[in-house]
Chains A and B, each alone.
Chain A
Amino acid sequence: MINASLKELSAALAAKNISSVELTRIYLERIERLNGELNAFITVDPGKSLALAGQADARIARGEHAPLTGIPVAHKDIYCTKGWLTTCGSRMLANFESPYDAHVIGRFGAAGAVILGKTNMDEFAMGSSNETSFYGPVKNPWDRAFVPGGSSGGSACAVAARLAPAATATDTGGSIRQPAALTGITGLKPTYGVVSRYGMIAFASSLDQGGPMGKSAEDVAMLLDVMAGFDPRDSTSLEREGEDYTRDLDRPWEGASAGRPLQGLRIGVPKEHFGEGLSSDVGRAIEAALAQFEELGAKRVAISLPNSGLSVPAYYVIAPAEASSNLSRFDGVRYGYRAPEYRDLLDMYCKTRSQGFGAEVKRRILIGTYVLSHGYYDAYYLKAQRVRRLIAQDFVEAFKKCDVVMGPTSPTVAFRIGAKTSDPVQMYLSDIYTIPANLAGLPGMSVPCGFGENELPVGLHIGGNYFSEARMLAVAHHYQRATDWHRRAPAGVL
């Protein structure tokens, strides 16, 4: 059961081969057994989850079920969830019970999915290893001495360790794709504006995008069907026709045959993503994946993303700038943490924020405050915005020559817990291949494509043009029909 696809689970629930309550219990028991060690969940509330499962069963009994009705889903603790603690991995919100549901939570609720719990994450989504969480690091289920990636490390770990059939996550610079790669699952960051940010606690508003994590492209497509859609409460949400992301999964590429379903697909391979910094084990796995795509009929096209080397510096100006302002609301006045003792207002602010935020969050607030300061704004923020436009322009040129862009999701497999905590720049470089998509607002996904050093998973990054999620998912699905990397599960959790 725990290796079943969402489609299979959905069918089993509809056929009443299993009830949602039974299914939810299976996962709650696994969480009970394994979470102590893996630390994937911050909050689990069996009573609430089982009540939702009971409602889902009633709905199925009435014959009113949707594809995800009754399926337990774990939510990253960045999504405000009514009646649940929503901590964002921070001491600042350790006591914050949200009085409202994020748009994404509301959509899953309307679909009849069960909230399985709230997953661990880097504090305010700032991190690439899940080590900045106030609730402690999440362990990689493939080897517990290693990080699962971040910031959505809890969600990635939950899916990889089969503690949840599926999970939600968010991605500002790679926070869905990098942990998906490091834990051997499939994750998708949609085009900016496809998933409403309402109720998703903001890190960097112009880069943040919610998306799904699952065991396969097919699962991810089913989840995206629920998550995507216009929301008038988010001004950056895109008003466009709803899409069925599962409909064309099996359809071969235009003009291709079932035997070679990707005949005619042009895969852009950016030379900048295969140079210095890419570890050889990852490079080999990616090369093998590209060869597999060629067997499916696809053709490689050499492309260049000349400005991609500027993406990490530009990102580490823009994201902290927005974060420094977004996190100002955590001031101890209305909700969340407040220092127990203070002399006056200024002292209350200083102590509350000094004690409530962890080191990485404070580092980024300081960087962001600096780059927005009078006299530095033009040199940093405005220049970074210009770089951002250049990077987006690189992709416009690239997509004239290819249909998708492929390369490694992360330069290395998972690294040891503690290995990079004292070197922020090394940590930041972990997202070097994922950040350009956030800066350009483009969709990107990671699919498992093999194993590298220490028998740890490698992720293949598939980038697409704006709103090409359905095509990207189909490309990934054809690959997953021909391979079984996505079916592998860490031995220690079965």
Chain B
Amino acid sequence: MEWEVVIGLEIHAQLSTASKMFSGASTEFGAVPNAQACAVDIALPGVLPVANSGAVERALRFGLAVNGNNADNISRRSIFARKNYFYPDLPKGYQISQYELPVINGGTISIVLKDGQKTIHLTRAHLEEDAGKSLHEDFHGMSGIDLNRAGTPLLEIVSEPDMRSAEEAVAYAKAVHSLVRWIDICDGNMQEGSFRCDANVSVRRPGEPLGTRREIKNLNSFRFLQQAIDYEAKWQIETLQDGGTIHQATVLFDPDSGETRAMRSKEDAHDYRYFPDPDLLPLVVTEEWIERVKGGLLELPQAKRERYARDYGLSVYDAGLLTQSRETTVYFEDMVGQLGTEAAKVCANWVSGDLAAALNRDNLDIAQSPVPSAQLAGLVARIRDNTLSGKMAREVFDAMWRGEAASADELIEKKGLKQISDSGALEAIVDQVIAANPKSVEEYRAGKEKAFNALVGQAMKATRGKGNPAQINEILKKKLAG
């Protein structure tokens, strides 16, 4: 029997402000423990929070970006609430978050799958502060508390249960990851915890109401997200097939065993006693503020995808690959700017093909590419004017990647890689090949196509690979027909 997996994600994106959500302390990663915790962060008696308008502005940017630049999903008045619980790395004994009235209500993220696009709906996005960290390695038999992260601004982005597979969940998480970096509200660094996912997973028979969900907490890589959901869905299906029932629970994913295990059940869930924080006034967002944020917003991924398809004739899939990060589109658009719209398709192939593969191999961001966009444009220009064959172009690209020259032209010169497209020279070579291989000529004339390829091979060999293959083909055909 068939099962349907239903997934919704809660993503915590750390907002890229210089100071914290409610204090002036720095948010820089990696400082000595507690060096970046001020009086407000350590919750001394008498201290008070003041909301960081930079964090609010980033939330607004996100709200506009997931709603086609339309502000109807932005609350003009939202409320900071206290979520009360005791934990040593939560200095106030409560986390300031948003509960009943979040700053962003709704929006969509469109994801590109192999078989087309899908729209994922957002429930909400709200501002909150992060907790500190408990360090359980040995401190003379005690645990240590590092409050550097305490108070760091987060945007919690909550999706509807719109995803039906781990692949869709990963595609969605990647799209959000790309977007938050695109609009420059989060550095997306998953190792440092700047972008973390919680996955709500349930299973059901298609068409039936939603099953009971379990929430997998704190997944900090796309691979873990995939593995955790796959494991969890399989476990739930097996449990149900064995006649068991699923109980609502919070679970943790263990990357070593690849398994999820329950952390706490609904029965011992906290009563967080949410109530509006009386230290903070309602967060009021004016029309002027929204207009100002709108004015600063860049062309968004979806709009770019549509433009690439329309103006450059790229497929949705190709356009989707190019728009996974803003840096990639900057690189690609630089190339097209230099070479013209007609070159867009071949530029796209190079950016998503050889360049992406090389970046991936060396674990680099496109902004760190050893071959900058101008160099790759220079290379593509030589392909387009037939100076280089595809094979030669790859050789040139690899040499530029290794830093052997600053331009394709320099390398072509240095290595003598220039493709021979001089028809006079090629005709002479073809004549020699025909004369030296009478047997092959005979076979070709007798109808054996393979013999033709052998002759082309001989001609290429004679040019030491530099002959323009298309031209050699043409000349050979003409001569043999004659």
Contacts and interface: CB of A to CB of B under 8 A. Distances in A.
Interface of A: 79-80, 86, 88, 93, 96, 98-100, 102, 197-202, 204-206, 232-236, 321-322, 324-325, 327-331, 333-335, 345, 349, 369, 372-374, 377, 381
B48 A328 contact: no
A444 B91 CA distance: 35
A325 B273 contact: yes
15 contacts: A80-B46, A93-B45, A198-B47, A200-B46, A233-B50, A234-B48, A234-B50, A235-B280, A236-B278, A324-B84, A325-B275, A329-B45, A334-B42, A345-B88, A372-B275
Contact of A197 (B48, B91, B93, B94): B48
A206 B278 contact: yes
Given A202-B45, A334-B145, 20 more contacts: A98-B46, A197-B48, A200-B46, A201-B45, A232-B50, A233-B48, A234-B50, A235-B48, A235-B51, A235-B279, A324-B84, A324-B273, A325-B82, A325-B93, A328-B86, A328-B94, A330-B45, A333-B88, A374-B273, A377-B273
A381 B275 CA distance: 9
Contacts of B43: 329, 334
B49 interface: yes
B298 interface: no
A374 B271 contact: yes
By secondary structure, the B interface counts as loop
A374 B50 CA distance: 28
Given A198-B48, A199-B47, A334-B43, A236 B281 contact: yes
B39 interface: yes
A351 to B, nearest CB: 13
A199 B278 contact: no
B271 A96 contact: no
Interface in B271-312: 271, 273-275, 278-281
A234 B92 CA distance: 17
A92 to B, nearest CB: 9
Contacts of A199: 46-47
A206 B45 CA distance: 16
Interface string B367-384: 000000000000000000
A377 B39 contact: no
Contacts of B82: 325
Contacts of A235: 48-51, 279-281
B240 interface: no
B286 to A, nearest CB: 16
Contacts of B281: 235-236
A100 B44 contact: yes
Contacts of B86: 328, 331, 349
Interface in B41-63: 42-51
B82 to A, nearest CB: 5
B39 A100 contact: yes
Interface in B212-235: none
Of B51, B88, B280, chain A has the most CB atoms within 10 Å of the CB of B88
Given A331-B93, A381-B275, A325 B84 contact: yes
Nearest to B34: A334
Contacts of A198: 46-48
Contacts of B94: 325, 328
Nearest to A93: B45
A334 B91 contact: yes
A236 to B, nearest CB: 6
Interface string B344-362: 0000000000000000000
Nearest to A199: B46
Nearest to A124: B45
Contacts of B42: 334
Contacts of A234: 48, 50
B276 to A, nearest CB: 9
A199 B44 CA distance: 9
Contacts of B88: 331, 333, 345
B145 A333 contact: yes
Contacts of A333: 88, 91, 145
Nearest to A377: B275
Contacts of A322: 278
B43 to A, nearest CB: 4
A334 B263 CA distance: 27
B50 A328 contact: no
A89 to B, nearest CB: 12
Contacts of A88: 45
Contact of B44 (A80, A236, A369): A80
Interface in B27-81: 39, 42-51
Contacts of B274: 372
A321 B276 CA distance: 11
A206 B88 CA distance: 26
Contacts of A236: 278-279, 281
A102 B273 contact: no
Contacts of B280: 235
Nearest to B23: A233
B45 A96 contact: yes
A63 to B, nearest CB: 35
B61 to A, nearest CB: 23
Contacts of B49: 235
A335 B43 CA distance: 10
A321 B45 contact: no
Contacts of A349: 86
A233 B44 CA distance: 14
Contacts of A321: 275
Interface in B86-116: 86, 88, 91-94
B44 A373 contact: no
Contact of B46 (A201, A206, A327, A331): A201
A330 B44 CA distance: 9
Nearest to B80: A235
Contact of B93 (A200, A206, A329, A335): A329
A99 B39 contact: yes
B92 A328 contact: yes
A335 B84 contact: no
B34 to A, nearest CB: 10
A381 to B, nearest CB: 6
Contact of A372 (B39, B47, B84): B84
Nearest to B145: A333
Contacts of B93: 325, 327-329, 331
A96 B145 CA distance: 20
A198 B279 CA distance: 10
Interface string B143-166: 001000000000000000000000
A324 B92 CA distance: 12
A205 to B, nearest CB: 4
Contacts of A201: 45-46
A328 B39 contact: no
Contacts of A369: 273
Nearest to A328: B93
A387 to B, nearest CB: 16
B46 A205 contact: no
A202 B46 contact: yes
B159 to A, nearest CB: 25
Contacts of A200: 46
7 smallest beta-carbon distances between A and B, as pairs: A328-B93, A206-B278, A372-B273, A205-B278, A199-B46, A329-B43, A201-B45
Contacts of B92: 328-329
Contacts of A328: 84, 86, 92-94
Contacts of B278: 204-206, 236, 322
A98 B45 contact: yes
